[in-house]
Copies of this chain bind each other. A is one copy, B any other.
Amino acid sequence: MTSTRPVHATIPIVPSPATIKAACSSCSLQELCLPVGLSPSDIDRLDRIISSRHTTRRGSSLYRIGDPFRSLYAVRTGAFKTIDLSEDGSEKITGFYLSGEILGLDAISTDRQNFSAVALEDSEVCVLPFEHLEQLLREIPTLQHHFHKIMSRDIMRDQGLMLLLAGMKADARLSSFLIGLSQRFANLGYSAMRFRLRMTREEIGSYLGLTLETVSRLFSRFSAEGLIRIDRREIEILDFKALRAIVEVRE
């Protein structure tokens, strides 16, 4: 998957595959990830506790439900989904994670993973041993506060999704989803108007509480109305304001 891969490769990485040991201090996600606001020397200390990086191939799991919780994972490149699978085999998607986002925060409360994390494309994460991290949080107030903000942001994000699921019609959900993705890509330095969906219609549907057919129909409708252009998973937003308007209606 490595050489031929085109659009896929997710991040403007510092191109030094040799020095995989160097972490935050050389990472382009410094301003988005854990190190936000830290002094160089504190970033060094953070670097030291990041035991390793880990590569996960598309379709395989970073961790599975029930695994003991020891570490958080910061997505470096690629994308993940977290899934909750019920006994009957059907899976529900609880979240999508892009570069700079932290996986595993829900597991702190249970000491075990509550969901499985599956890579949507070849991905790389930084492993953050939680015990060491807590130690460091006690020593670096800035880091501590930022970490609390990250957890808090997760709570906010979930509450936003709850509002979406509880109160919006299908078209508003999808529209809101696209707007959210657009913003996240923009934050990463990519185009807000044109990007590649990392997930299938079915996965989007699962996340938004819709069927894949409804998602597909809505993409077609948005496309017919000139709001977006979509070809397979390449999507271009043509009328951002109109998308927003759809959300506002039923906010």
Contacts and interface: CB of A to CB of B under 8 A. Distances in A.
A134 B138 contact: no
A232 to B, nearest CB: 25
Copies of this chain, whole number = 2
B149 A158 contact: no
Classify chain A's interface size.
Answer: 35 or more
Given A138-B137, A165-B166, A209-B166, A155 B105 contact: yes
A206 B108 CA distance: 29
Interface stretch (A31-39, A140-148, A193-201): A140-148
A94 B157 CA distance: 12
A94 B163 contact: yes
Contacts of A95: 159
* Interface of A: prevailing SS: helix
Contacts of A148: 108, 134, 151
B151 A152 contact: yes
A86 interface: yes
A148 B162 CA distance: 22
Interface of A: 84, 86-88, 92, 94-95, 105-110, 114-115, 134, 137-139, 141, 144-145, 148-156, 158-159, 161-163, 165-167, 206-209, 251
Given A109-B155, A161-B162, 10 more contacts: A92-B163, A105-B155, A108-B149, A108-B151, A108-B152, A109-B150, A114-B159, A137-B144, A138-B144, A162-B162
30 contacts: A84-B163, A86-B251, A87-B251, A94-B162, A95-B159, A105-B152, A105-B155, A108-B148, A108-B149, A108-B151, A108-B152, A109-B149, A109-B153, A110-B152, A114-B156, A134-B141, A134-B145, A137-B144, A138-B141, A151-B155, A154-B155, A158-B158, A158-B159, A158-B162, A162-B162, A165-B166, A165-B209, A166-B206, A166-B207, A166-B209
